[in-house]
Amino acid sequence: MEKSEVFEKGFELIGNSKIVFLATNDEKGYPIIKGMLNMENDGLKRIWFGTNASSKKVSRIERDQRACVYCVDEENFRGLTLVGDIGILKDPESKRRLWREGFERYYPLGAEDPDYCVLEFTAKKATMYHGLEELTLEL
Amino acid sequence: MEKSEVFEKGFELIGNSKIVFLATNDEKGYPIIKGMLNMENDGLKRIWFGTNASSKKVSRIERDQRACVYCVDEENFRGLTLVGDIGILKDPESKRRLWREGFERYYPLGAEDPDYCVLEFTAKKATMYHGLEELTLEL
């Protein structure tokens, strides 16, 4: 596998994923996976999610910023694992930028809703799996 | 959500998932997700996978047994997160039981191949997500 495949196919894979999988650590150090709506990304380096500030996931992230994002293309036997750190953004600009039509269902007060926040994941390394091959790159 | 939904729909969800997602911890405590072929399970309590004994995932599990298995039904907005411990089985009986046609491609020596091993995941708790609802049960 070439380095370019990690970037090009990885980028394509994120772009085509409606849902990606986010793992964070609970208070006992157990990894916890949850499916997340794939909202916005900057290449493989940064991924943003909108979520509930009151959720258990946000409490986990307040305690421990280590995280992983995974997406998969089952048909083509490709998977992408991104490992890095995740932070919580509550500034109005980030919240407005990630706001999507229909979110009123979840956050009745709109983009300013105090229960709405943004997660910013920053990848430190990327591993692309393709069939039996895999390649890890530092980002 | 009723308790029975966690068991019934959770069982259905695992049964319908060709791929499930397994998270383990790396040496720095970062969670690492990987898609795994869903091979065999005993309700929500136990899930078995066949994998390469020489893989990084097996090294991670030798160091740290804390793990999570996730599966998702995107169409029906359902997700199931199982949290528990994972172990490595190398006994001939377990390896033969999990052996599948076509595995020769990965393990040329067959079920006895020293690079083939079985992972046994034992869940301690299950969380079912359905739309905006969620319910966690101790198992």
Please tell me which residue of chain A has the smallest CA distance to B77.
A35
User: In this structure, is the dihedral angle defined by the CA atoms of residues B17, B19, B21 and B22, taken in order, positive or negative?
Assistant: positive
A24 vs B33: CB contact, 8 Å cut-off? no
pLDDT at A93: 97
Kindly give the parts of chain A with pLDDT less than 70.
none
Please tell me which residue of chain A has the smallest CA distance to B29.
A66
B132 vs A81: CB contact, 8 Å cut-off? no
User: In this structure, is the dihedral angle defined by the CA atoms of residues A85, A86, A92 and A95, taken in order, positive or negative?
Assistant: positive
B31 vs A21: CB contact, 8 Å cut-off? no
Residue with tokens 């198992």: B139
- List beta partners, residue B94: none
- Return the structure tokens found at A84: 């890095």
ipTM confidence score: 0.95
User: In this structure, is the dihedral angle defined by the CA atoms of residues A11, A13, A16 and A21, taken in order, positive or negative?
Assistant: negative
pLDDT at B5: 87
Residue-wise pLDDT tens digits, B49-104: 999 999 999 999 999 999 999 999 999 989 999 999 999 999 999 999 999 999 99
- Return the structure tokens found at B4: 């029975």
The C-alpha of A6 sits at a distance from chain B's nearest C-alpha, in angstroms, of: 16
The amino acid sitting at A28 is K
A74 vs B106: CB contact, 8 Å cut-off? no
**Average pLDDT over chain B, rounded to an integer:** 95
Neighboring chain A residues of B29 at a CB cutoff of 8 Å: 25, 29, 64, 66
Whether B90 contacts B77, CB under 8 Å: no
A23 vs B74: CB contact, 8 Å cut-off? no
The amino acid sitting at A95 is K
Residue-wise pLDDT tens digits, B90-102: 999 999 999 999 9
How many residues are recorded in chain B? 139
Calculate what percentage of chain B has a pLDDT beyond 90.
92
The amino acid sitting at A19 is I
Band of the pLDDT at B132, cuts 50, 70, 90? confident
- Return the structure tokens found at A129: 């799996």
Residue-wise pLDDT tens digits, B104-116: 999 999 999 999 9
Give start and end residues of each alpha helix (H) in A1-139. 3-16, 56-63, 92-97
Calculate what percentage of chain B has a pLDDT beyond 70.
100
Band of the pLDDT at B134, cuts 50, 70, 90? very high
CB atoms within 10 A of CB A7: 16
CB atoms within 10 A of CB A33: 28
pLDDT of residue B131 exceeding 90, the answer is no
pLDDT at A132: 82
Chosen from B17, B24, B30 to mutate, greatest number of chain A CBs within 10 A: B30
Judged by a CB distance cut-off of 8 A, whether residue B102 touches chain A is no
